[in-house]
Amino acid sequence: MTASPLIEFIAREHPAFVHLPLGLVAALPVAMLGSFHRQGRSLLATSFFLAAIGWLASTIALFSGLVWGRQINLIGPSSFIPVVASEKQVLQRILQVHILAALAGFLVGGLCAFLLWRTWRRDSHVGADGKDHRHHAGRRFWERGVGAPALLVGLIWLGCWGFSGKLGGIMVFGSEETNKAAAEADKAKRNDLEADLPIRALDYASLEPAEPDPIRSKAHGDRWRRVWVTASGIDAYKAGKALPPGAYAVMSTFSDVKGRPGTEPGPLYMKETKADGSTAFAFYWARIPEALQKDFGNQDSVYWRSPDPKLATCLGCHEKGGSPAK
Ligand code: HEC
């Protein structure tokens, strides 16, 4: 996505924009408290304007936060909140709470501005009986000034945004938890040699061929296939048994030309029995022909690994890790 320079600016400066509404809302309770004082009359109007400007300014902050989150791929291009797929996505989890707290503050803030507006309007009138009902005239303490309910709502508003801001600070500057999570993700990626490419599947020719000749496989895109199995699993495979832990099978595929095996490579399929006995799948297609790309989310290449939900179809036939009936 290429955004206009203005949108780019609005997105990148999110950490700066938020300080305007936050500062106004931090000053708000002070003005509100002052309005309870006998001489604090003008502070009612001040409170209303602080709240109104803070609330309006926050719309820019909310918008810039959304655009920023989408630009750095923490939020999907058409979503409003990040998806947390695993425990380790600490940043996404913090961002979710950050957004919810900001939105809660926005709703509470709207209510607060409305309450202040109503009180301000009422107090700038002289009653029909000609008496001055303004400000403190004959009111109980909690009904004076902006009134206790508005003060309470204002404090909740500040609480929501203060909390959201604290989480924002953690996301920008890091905390022990996020830094630890980032380091762990880094380490996991370094230890996971196949994070970017299915290295073992690509090296299938180093394994034991399960059959001498290619066989046509209706179940895997109606291509020709050959199955290659690790030495540790070839006997089990030939006996039609489940592969032992640590063993894996790779199915290389190629095109069909008029009912005979062609040479155009198709996808690589991999099935592995992990050390803990569970089954993992991988599907790798380095170059998807243009005509088929629409079936693959318009990608020109895909690499899926368990637990990718796109591999659910494999499980449909390959239950329990055993070879399906042919
Ligand atoms: C329509 C049923 C079906 C689907 C869907 C399917 N398979 Fe298979 N698979 C089979 C059958 C049947 C065999 C046995 C060999 C053959 O007929 O080609 C097999 C064999 C294999 C083999 C060779 C090792 C073995 O167990 O025989 C691998 C590897 C494999 N499939 C991986 C996958 C992967 C990865 C997926 C998902 C992307 C998948 N399969 C989807 C039916 C299926």
> Looking at the structure, do residues 152 and 234 belong to the same domain, yes or no?
no
> Looking at the structure, do residues 173 and 218 belong to the same domain, yes or no?
no
Nearest CA to ligand 1 atom 5: 314
Per the structure, the complete domain to which residue 225 belongs is given by 199-321
Query: Which residue among 251, 252, 253, 320 is best mutated to probe the pocket of ligand 1, counting the most ligand atoms within 8 A of its Cβ?
Result: 251
Q: Which residues line ligand 1 (CB under 6 A)?
A: 217, 219-220, 225, 227, 249-251, 269-271, 281, 283, 311, 313-314, 316-318, 323-324, 326
> Looking at the structure, do residues 30 and 136 belong to the same domain, yes or no?
yes
Kind plus residue range of the DSSP H or E element containing 244: none
Tell me whether residue 72 is in a domain: yes
Residue that is last in its domain, among 190, 215, 232: 190
For residue 225, the ligand 1 atom closest to its alpha carbon is: 18
> Looking at the structure, do residues 93 and 204 belong to the same domain, yes or no?
no
> Looking at the structure, do residues 13 and 98 belong to the same domain, yes or no?
yes
Q: Whole-model pTM above 0.75?
A: no
Nearest to 260 by CA among 326, 209, 212, 214: 214
> Looking at the structure, do residues 237 and 166 belong to the same domain, yes or no?
no
Per-residue pLDDT of the chain (326 residues; tens, 9 = 90+): 456 888 888 888 898 889 999 999 999 999 999 998 888 878 999 999 999 999 999 999 999 999 999 988 888 888 898 888 777 788 889 999 999 999 999 999 999 999 999 998 887 765 554 445 555 556 777 778 888 999 999 999 999 999 999 999 988 888 787 788 888 888 888 888 898 899 999 999 999 999 989 999 988 988 999 999 999 999 999 999 999 999 999 999 999 888 888 888 999 999 999 999 999 999 999 999 999 999 998 899 999 999 898 998 898 888 754 456 44
Show the tokens assigned to 302: 């895909």
Any idea what DSSP says for residue 311?
G
> Looking at the structure, do residues 85 and 209 belong to the same domain, yes or no?
no
Tell me whether residue 17 is in a domain: yes
Tell me whether residue 326 is in a domain: no
Nearest to 265 by CA among 274, 253, 279: 253
> Looking at the structure, do residues 18 and 121 belong to the same domain, yes or no?
yes
Residue that is last in its domain, among 134, 161, 190: 190
Look at the block and give the residue holding tokens 């050390």: 275
Distance of CA 143 to the CA centre of its chain: 45
> Looking at the structure, do residues 73 and 174 belong to the same domain, yes or no?
yes
Residue that is last in its domain, among 171, 190, 209: 190
How many domains does the structure of the chain reveal? Answer: 2
> Looking at the structure, do residues 219 and 183 belong to the same domain, yes or no?
no
Distance 251 CA to ligand 1 centre (A): 8
Nearest CA to ligand 1 atom 11: 324
The answer to whether 282 touches 198, Cβ cutoff 8 Å, is yes
Tell me whether residue 206 is in a domain: yes
> Looking at the structure, do residues 152 and 17 belong to the same domain, yes or no?
yes
> Looking at the structure, do residues 96 and 203 belong to the same domain, yes or no?
no
φ, ψ of residue 200 to 5 degrees: the values are -65, -40
Q: Cα(17)–Cα(20) distance, rounded to whole angstroms? A: 6
Please name the residues in contact with 56: beta carbons below 8 A apart, sequence gap of 6 or more. Answer: none
